[in-house]
Structure 1
Amino acid sequence: IRTSRENPTKSPEKMAHVIRALSELKVRYLVTIGGDDTAYTSSQVEKEAKGKIAVCHVPKTIDNDLPLPPGIPTFGYETARELGTKLVENLMEDAKTAARWYFVIAMGRSAGHLALGMGTGAGATMALIPEELGKTYSLRKVLNILEGAIIKRLSMGKDHGVAVIAEGVAARLDPQEFSFVKDAPRDEHGNIRLAEIPFGTILKDEVTKDLKEMGIKITIVAKDIGYELRCNPPTAFDRQYTRNLGYSAARFLLDGGSGAMILFKDGKTTPIPFADLMDPKTGKTRIRTVDIHSEIYQTARRYMIRLNPDDLKGDALKRLADTAKMSPDEFKKRFGEF
């Protein structure tokens, strides 16, 4: 089948061409497969077809960010997470053997589901996702989190670790501070091509420089884990899930349905109307982000080796400050923001 990043919603002419082509091919039923951009395009095709073509969408993205109910993944996510977890496990072993840190940049343009899933699945030292940082933030905030984790590990006698970082962290950096965010190339849907930003290298260089100024010598390797996750043979879960979605989509259309995304939950098909997928502010598909107040995230966070408020008290603070060759007050001032 292959894939396309073309965006027919960019102009009335392009959309008219799509409708005309489908009509000439005598297409009566259309099932679109993809993420938030494809879901939006699907809704517009259904609208412009004016009943001549029945359209539905099935949720496919390794980002897991389509607006499905909590606990219901998009197909492809579990397969990507499985491979990503294995790759992170391998890097953890290498980090331990070679006494180094890895900064792993994982796919996830708008949400941190994949980075968090890979990190917790592998038991990585930590994961960092944009949802926990705010709408816009400075690079210093990101650096402090990473440096704090490294210092904490060193204070525990561990000179190695793996931090899994969602690529979407780069997208929310203050554009006034970093022109690469503002000037970054974009795809046909207006999304920043995050894979073309050397974010891991930027983090590695800045953290290495900061730690060197503290007298800490550490080896950090930047590693992107991205496109290869989309090409892994599907897990048993995704094989069964896609059969259910495909069958449900065909049955929905043949039974007279149209204009919805297929939801398969509790063994039943529950189509979600396209209108319910849209964000009223943007007019585009809503993005499901990681709920940082959920027990799933809170559990994951507790298992990470990162600075927390309890670290800035008593003996723990003194141990960290000594590792960073700072006074306790200096350490609190530098790393006290959570």
Structure 2
Amino acid sequence: MEQIKCIGVLTSGGDAPGMNAAIRAVTRTAIYHGFTVKGIRRGYKGLITGDIVGMESQSVSNIIQLGGTILKSARCKEFCTPEGRKLAYENMQAAGIDALVVIGGDGSIKGAGEFASEYNIPVVALPGTIDNDLGGTDATIGYDSALNTIMEAVDKLRDTASSHERLFFVEVMGHTAGYLALNGAIASGAEAAIVPEMETEVDQLAELINNGFRKSKNSAIVLVAENPKTGGAIGLAERVKKEFPQYDARVTILGHLQRGGSPTSLDRILASRLGEAAIEAFMEGQRNVMIGVRNSQLVYVPFSKAIRHNKGINRTYLDLVKILSI
């Protein structure tokens, strides 16, 4: 711990509402405890190109309410190579950075683990992804904000859906995890959710149609997690056209709308707690851990556990959607 004087912070992968709140918390907590802070722009790409800037308390003023990330983000194939990581390490040394806070999803955390093990660097990660698909934590930064965006969009779609006897498929993000689709369906009163966790167990579309999706309603909205195996909402609508031509299917893909917007209060609070805990972790001698939250308590999650994708969905929530859609 005595060797850490300067802490670097970066955001990597897809942006998520609340990342700025996390940057703010990391920066100000580090300064509060006497560390120097440097921001790395454009994620791991910034480490490779040397795009590194000094951070002061005022650098993060008036950003807690902003979506996106002031440090920018980028995918970086070069960092996946030993040569790229070597260059990143050399630039990190040249900038005087002794430890690293990485804010991102599973790919970002996997990269952080490889980098830390190769060069014996203290690294702490924060879970920043709208998909909520990291292990060891109940929630990730950006998930609640994205969920609220989905809910508001479906509320608006419901206004027009009620005017037509149609089956509406609304595609949301989460190609390996159905949290946004499932909880978005509950929050918006959708008639069903089609999630990747169930794809090997049951033909979810056939079950939906055979159960009679309309019942006493003149329209239905189904939330669908993007999934290459099912083809997402477009693939399901094509299946309806071929297999169930009696139904008029329509598709809405929310796409990157889910990533944008001001973070909710829950995401601002979560990001602030996790950001402070990242600096506390360094002070306790922790390394190669992601800061998570379980039952409202902060926890240290090994990188290997964080990227496992084994959290699973709550099956009772699927029953809840079915029960409440009658």
The alignment's TM-score, normalised by the length of structure 2, stands at 0.72
1:86 matched residue in structure 2 = 152
| Alignment pair present for 1:299 and 2:320 | yes
For residue 260 of structure 1, what is the amino acid of its counterpart? V
For residue 17 of structure 1, what is the amino acid of its counterpart? L
2:161 matched residue in structure 1 = 95
Kindly indicate whether the alpha-carbon contact (under 8 Å) linking 1:101 and 1:220 is maintained by their aligned counterparts in 2: yes
Kindly indicate whether the alpha-carbon contact (under 8 Å) linking 1:57 and 1:260 is maintained by their aligned counterparts in 2: yes
1:20 matched residue in structure 2 = 90
Secondary structure of 1:263's counterpart equals: strand
| Alignment pair present for 1:200 and 2:233 | yes
Query: Identity of aligned pairs, percent?
Result: 26
Secondary structure of 2:313's counterpart equals: coil
For residue 239 of structure 1, what is the amino acid of its counterpart? R
For residue 47 of structure 1, what is the amino acid of its counterpart? S
How far apart are 1:205 and its partner, in Å? 2.8
2:190 to 124, 132, 141: 124
Q: 1:269 to 1:143 in 2, by over 3 A?
A: closer
Structure 2 unpaired stretches of 5+: 1-70
Q: 1:245 to 1:8 in 2, by over 3 A?
A: farther
1:56-71 equivalent positions in 2, closer than 5 A: 56-69=124-137
Q: 1:273 to 1:112 in 2, by over 3 A?
A: same
Secondary structure of 1:48's counterpart equals: helix
Question: For the residues of structure 2 that align with 1:244 and 1:206, how far apart are their CA atoms?
Answer: 45
1:46 matched residue in structure 2 = 116
Secondary structure of 1:97's counterpart equals: coil
Q: CA RMSD in A?
A: 2.3
1:158 to 195, 208, 217: 217
Kindly indicate whether the alpha-carbon contact (under 8 Å) linking 2:172 and 2:226 is maintained by their aligned counterparts in 1: yes
Structure 1 unpaired stretches of 5+: 174-196, 278-284, 306-338
2:100 to 30, 44, 49: 30
How far apart are 1:8 and its partner, in Å? 4.7
Q: 1:152 to 1:238 in 2, by over 3 A?
A: closer
For residue 287 of structure 1, what is the amino acid of its counterpart? H
For residue 202 of structure 1, what is the amino acid of its counterpart? G
Structure with greater helix percent: 1
Question: For the residues of structure 2 that align with 1:109 and 1:18, how far apart are their CA atoms?
Answer: 30
| Alignment pair present for 1:147 and 2:209 | yes
| Alignment pair present for 1:4 and 2:63 | no
Question: For the residues of structure 2 that align with 1:211 and 1:33, how far apart are their CA atoms?
Answer: 45
Q: 1:163 to 1:264 in 2, by over 3 A?
A: closer
For residue 209 of structure 1, what is the amino acid of its counterpart? K
Per-residue deviation, residues 154-187 of structure 1 (Å, max 9, x unmatched): xx3433110101113x33x5xxxxxxxxxxxxxx
Structure with greater strand percent: 2
| Alignment pair present for 1:248 and 2:277 | yes
2:50 matched residue in structure 1 = none
Secondary structure of 1:271's counterpart equals: strand
For residue 264 of structure 2, what is the amino acid of its counterpart? T
Q: 1:222 to 1:263 in 2, by over 3 A?
A: same
For residue 67 of structure 1, what is the amino acid of its counterpart? G
Kindly indicate whether the alpha-carbon contact (under 8 Å) linking 1:201 and 1:222 is maintained by their aligned counterparts in 2: yes
Per-residue deviation, residues 125-149 of structure 1 (Å, max 9, x unmatched): 11111112218x8xxx354234335
Kindly indicate whether the alpha-carbon contact (under 8 Å) linking 1:112 and 1:130 is maintained by their aligned counterparts in 2: yes
Larger-Rg structure: 1
